[in-house]
């Protein structure tokens, strides 16, 4: 238990202990060895014989202290503690399988796509299969993005993700209904599961757009989008889409 607590305190500022470990050479080695060092992968931990916490996300961030404020999304945002969120698609095609999948894994799954599909800003973006089916690769991208968020804001990146999803989830949509050969657009509500789906998809799309033909990496684009959406910034792509969707729905009530 004490080791776990020590790890959690480290998790808030992961860049510090690396610098601190190099400086104190005069102190006894055994006393500082355990809390100072940390491993980011299972393999590195085994090599250097260090304890690797399986309850922290990527070995750094705790998911226990993350809170969901919106009661609508609270049932569908899964925050079970896991080091590497991957279920290998075991529950796929079952009813309500999303209630068993970690929220960070769902973000990873949405990022594993070949492009934007439709035209956005006059052009179709294609990654030429660079991310399709490559879950470990995308997992590293998300890990880099979370590190960037932690550097920028100093908060737990999982909390930033949850706040961003709460702000970017739309509440109203339109659908087409036909009466006697004429189509009408009618406003409808959105269920909790679909609200989360739309928000996650917009986050993934915006990071693909931000990194396309640009110096920015995909991880940096994702980090920027999450921080903007968490602060309710109207320049965020996901917030823009949400406002547009709700504006159309409001006029079609």
| Residue ranges in contact with another protein by CB under 8 A | 67, 69-72, 74-75, 96, 155, 159, 163, 166-167, 171-173, 175-178, 186-195, 197, 246, 249-250, 253
Q: Which is nearer to another protein, 102 or 156 (CB)?
A: 156
Residue 48 beta carbon to another protein: minimum distance, rounded to whole angstroms: 34
| Residues 11, 85, 204, 8, Cα dihedral to 10° | -10
Could you give the CA distance from residue 237 to residue 206 in angstroms, rounded to a whole number? 6
**Residue 189 backbone class (left: φ over 0; alpha: ψ -120 to 50; beta: rest):** beta
Q: Nearest Cα to 163, choosing from 171, 155, 172?
A: 155
Residue 43 beta carbon to another protein: minimum distance, rounded to whole angstroms: 34
Question: 192-211 and 218-230 are packed helices; what angle lies between their axes, rounded to 10 degrees?
Answer: 130
| Residues 55, 89, 111, 231, Cα dihedral to 10° | -40
Residue 198 beta carbon to another protein: minimum distance, rounded to whole angstroms: 9
Q: Residue 181's CB: how many other CB atoms inside 10 A?
A: 5
Q: Which is nearer to another protein, 130 or 171 (CB)?
A: 171
Q: Which is nearer to another protein, 38 or 241 (CB)?
A: 241
Q: Which is nearer to another protein, 128 or 178 (CB)?
A: 178
Q: Which is nearer to another protein, 130 or 188 (CB)?
A: 188
Residue 21 beta carbon to another protein: minimum distance, rounded to whole angstroms: 30
Residue 232 beta carbon to another protein: minimum distance, rounded to whole angstroms: 9
């Amino acid at each position: 238990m004490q080791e776990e607590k020590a790890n959690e305190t480290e998790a808030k500022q992961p860049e510090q202990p690396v610098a601190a470990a190099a400086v104190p050479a005069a102190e006894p080695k055994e006393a500082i060895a355990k809390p100072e060092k940390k491993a980011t992968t299972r393999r590195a931990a085994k090599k250097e014989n260090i304890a690797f916490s399986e309850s922290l996300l990527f070995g750094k961030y705790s998911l226990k202290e993350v809170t969901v404020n919106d009661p609508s999304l609270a049932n569908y945002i899964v925050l079970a503690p896991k080091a590497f969120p991957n279920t290998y698609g075991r529950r796929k095609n079952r009813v309500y399988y999303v209630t068993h999948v970690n929220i960070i894994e769902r973000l990873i799954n949405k990022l594993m796509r070949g492009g934007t599909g439709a035209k956005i800003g006059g052009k179709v973006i294609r990654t030429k299969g660079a991310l399709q089916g490559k879950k470990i690769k995308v997992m590293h991208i998300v890990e880099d993005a979370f590190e960037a968020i932690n550097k920028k804001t100093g908060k737990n990146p999982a909390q930033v993700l949850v706040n961003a999803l709460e702000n970017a989830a739309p509440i109203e949509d339109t659908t087409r209904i036909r009466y006697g050969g004429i189509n009408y657009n009618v406003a409808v509500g959105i269920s909790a599961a679909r609200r989360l789906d739309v928000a996650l998809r917009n986050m993934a799309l915006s990071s693909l757009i931000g990194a396309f033909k640009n110096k920015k990496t995909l991880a940096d684009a994702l980090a920027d989008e999450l921080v903007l959406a968490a602060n309710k910034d109207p320049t965020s792509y996901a917030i823009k889409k949400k406002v547009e969707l709700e504006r159309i729905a409001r006029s079609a009530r």
